[in-house]
Amino acid sequence: MKKYIITSFALIFILFGIGSGVMIYHLLSTTSNLRYLISLHEIEDIRQELSFSLQKIQNYTFSPPAFFAMHLDEIIENANVVDNTVVRCHECHHEPKITAELNDVEALILEYQEELSYLITTVTEGERRRNYQARVLEFNNIILNQVQGMVSRAASTLNRKTTLAMRKIDNSYLILALTLLLTFIAAFAVA
């Protein structure tokens, strides 16, 4: 009888230990995945920062040269923010497809900044200035569209990974419930 009780308690302990270990593993891996997903949500912050900076520049693009010159520091500051956003994106993404897209956006931004610098140095009204304004606006729209497409694809990936992480959390609850139920049944049988 003593051997049966010791074996039963060992069974209870083993059941509880295995169930708890599996649940802890699930929770740790899920928590790690959620931390990663939270860091990926930074892409929306970067997109908003990029959009805001491009729109600020666009607001001044068609202003008269004197007004444009008065806000030159702000325009240059926003141009630097645009450049830095791509650098920030390169810091996190290493997949070849995403890196290629980022390289394309970076090339567009370089062309955009070149056109913007031509616009900055053109101090008179006329056809030449209007051409630079149109080019700056064109690159602005192309960059925004390309970045928006990348963000949309990233959002669907984030949604898929978030759903998977939430399933793992639900599985952890199920494992905990089964562990407690089996341990209770084993304890009840021993009693």
Q: What are the residues whose beta carbons fall under 8 Å from the beta carbon of 70, sequence distance 6 or more?
A: none
Lowest-pLDDT range of 43-52, 87-96, 102-111: 87-96
No. of H helices and E strands in the chain? 6, 0
- Phi then psi for residue 101, to 5 deg, are -65, -40
With respect to CATH, is domain 2-190 assigned 3.40.50.150? Answer: no
> Where exactly are the structural domains of the chain?
2-190
The C-alpha angle 86, 91, 97, rounded to 5 degrees, equals: 75
pLDDT confidence of residue 93:
59
Contacts of 99 (CB under 8 A, 6+ apart): 90, 93
CA nearest neighbour of 54 among 123, 116, 119, 132: 116
For the stretch 36-83, pLDDT in tens is 777 666 777 777 888 888 889 888 888 888 888 889 899 889 988 888
- The whole-angstrom separation of Cα 147 and Cα 144 is 5
The answer for residues whose C-beta is within 8 angstroms of residue 168's C-beta and 6 or more apart is 26, 29, 30, 33
Greater pLDDT, 135 or 179? 135
Say how far apart CA 137 and CA 116 lie, in whole Å. Answer: 9
pLDDT band (50, 70, 90) for residue 134:
very high
Residue 89 CB coordination number (10 Å) = 22
From CA 173, how far away is CA 158, in angstroms rounded?
A: 23
CA dihedral 164, 168, 169, 174 (to 10 degrees): 140
Q: Is the pTM of this model over 0.85?
A: no
Task: Summarize pLDDT for 22-37 with one digit per residue, the tens.
Answer: 778 877 887 777 777 7
Cα–Cα distance for residue pair 31/163, rounded to 1 Å: 13
